[in-house]
Amino acid sequence: MTEEFMPDILTLSDEDGKNTEFEVLDIIEYEGESYYVLLPRYSDRFTALRSSADYVILKAEGGDEPVFSALGDELFGKISCIFEERYEKSFYGD
C-alpha cells in the first residue's frame, strides 16, 4: 500500500484581513529563533502557472498561535542559504 503525501498547509492573514494559503517547505532553527520557509498555494492551476513560485521566509514569534514577521535582506539571505543547502542534500545527497 502506498502512503499519500499531505503537505503542511498554513493560512495567514495580512493587515487587511486577506487570507493566503502557504505550503510549509521547512522550519529552520537559527540562533534560537524559528523561521518558516513557505510556498504560496493557489486555488487554481492557471494562477499557479502564472506565479513566480518564489518561496517566502517568515520569522515565527510566540507560542501556540505564532505571529509571523518579515525578514531583512541580510537575514533572509542567511536563512535561504541554509534552506537551499538542506534542500539540495535531501534530493541529491551529500
Please give the model's pTM, rounded to 2 decimal places.
Answer: 0.80
pLDDT digit string, tens, across residues 7-18: 789 998 888 999
Q: Is residue 37 part of a domain?
A: yes
Burial bucket for residue 66 (CB in 10 Å: 0-12, 13-18, 19+): middle
Residue 73 structural domain: 9-92
Q: Scanning the structure block, which residue is given the C-alpha cell 535561504?
A: 80
Inside any domain, residue 53? yes
pLDDT surpassing 80 at residue 93: no
In a domain, 4, yes or no: no
Per-residue confidence band for 46, with pLDDT thresholds at 50, 70 and 90: low
pLDDT, tens digit (0-9, with 9 covering 90-100), for 49-63: 666 668 999 999 987
Number of folded domains in the chain? Answer: 1
Q: Which residue has the higher pLDDT, 47 or 19?
A: 19
Let me know if residue 1 belongs to a domain: no
Q: How far is CA 92 from CA 5, 20, 28, 34, 86, in A?
A: 20, 31, 19, 25, 10
Q: Would residue 3 count as lying in a domain?
A: no
Q: Is 2 domain-assigned?
A: no
Domain assignment present for residue 58? The answer is yes
